[in-house]
Structure 1
């Protein structure tokens, strides 16, 4: 399983995993329901940037995470510009980018084992209904870590197309991205099967 965790001694590294997950969920909820104004998004964006600086990784890590989102931004902005107009397109794209950056911040500062433990405890009451807390925790953690992985795959494929003299943006990237994503899924499935997860 791919983990983005980077060891450190910052306050975010020392914070309990459940606190970080709760803040992630709370901020995502606030962004989804009330972040209609640019000043709200700007304030939350500054909070996210401050969080990256607090990790001790420096502004370079924050910039690297932002650059990794460039193709995701293009994919989201273009259809929304056509159907929703420029203001809504930019607001919605900014919302998604902030949530993805927050998820990256959580995974950078929290070992995956700690995230799994918190998620399993949260869903443990559902065990009486036949729900496996272990499988639910694994599914959610894989979802969190797969978002930046897919974005990275997109960047690699795009750079390969540019190196071959292809256009800057083309729908032909969809098929190789789909194939790479499925291959990544197969590799994860094989790794899980090898560890006895059915």
Structure 2
């Protein structure tokens, strides 16, 4: 699919089981937030970038997939630079950017259905005790992953519409229509899910 997040390939991440990828991502998130030494965080950022590019995604596509989140990370780092210190800004940027790139690498090598099935299996023990509904949680995660490219596609359409009208593409002028269209899509999807009886409550 053109808008799918996962791509075909034979990289080490492609061959890794889905559960192993989820464990890797969780462990990396914990490790990144425990470590504050740039001598470790900078290599971690470089490793995450290498893992993403090793999937065969290409530099341009990798940048397009992560640029919005990385821009947010850059804003957070800039705030830390102003209000805390340059060192803390570098730590925050390396930490969050590495996690973003690693998450992008995992989603690029794993199909949505595989994610949903594995999450449902992992949550089944909790479902037995009434804490969660595994199918509902896996469906929610699957929808989030599936519609990330749809949201990015809508942003590109809005930006192109602005350019066609000779208007400057600014975050505030594009964010409002993007949110409205996304909420409309969410309502449509929710009604379709309820009409098909996918949710039990």
TM-score by length of 1: 0.76
Secondary structure of the residue aligned to 1:196 is: coil
Mapped contact 1:13–1:109 kept (Cα < 8 A) = yes
**CA distance in structure 2 between the aligned counterparts of 1:46 and 1:6, rounded to whole angstroms:** 21
Give 1:152 shift: 5.4
Q: How do 1:22-101 residues align onto structure 2 when only pairs under 5 Å count? A: 22-34=23-35, 36-69=36-69, 71-73=71-73, 76=76, 83-84=83-84, 87-101=87-101
**CA distance in structure 1 between the aligned counterparts of 2:115 and 2:89, rounded to whole angstroms:** 32
Change (3 A) 1:87 1:119: same
- The two structures, once aligned, show a CA RMSD in angstroms of 3.2
Of 76-85 and 61-70, deviating more is 76-85
1:96-137 per-residue CA deviation (whole Å, 9 max, x = no partner) reads 333222222111111112111221121111122322111122
Mapped contact 1:68–1:155 kept (Cα < 8 A) = no
1:29-73 per-residue CA deviation (whole Å, 9 max, x = no partner) reads 112222x23333321111112212321333343333343545434
Of 168-177 and 124-133, deviating more is 168-177
Give 1:196 shift: 3.0
> Where does the alignment leave 5 or more consecutive residues of structure 2 unmatched?
none
**CA distance in structure 2 between the aligned counterparts of 1:84 and 1:71, rounded to whole angstroms:** 19
Matched residue, 1:188? 189
Give 1:21 shift: 0.8
TM-score by length of 2: 0.75
Which one scores higher on RCO, CA 8 angstroms, separation ≥ 6?
1
The count of residues paired between Structure 1 and Structure 2 equals: 196
Change (3 A) 1:195 1:54: farther
Matched residue, 1:171? 172
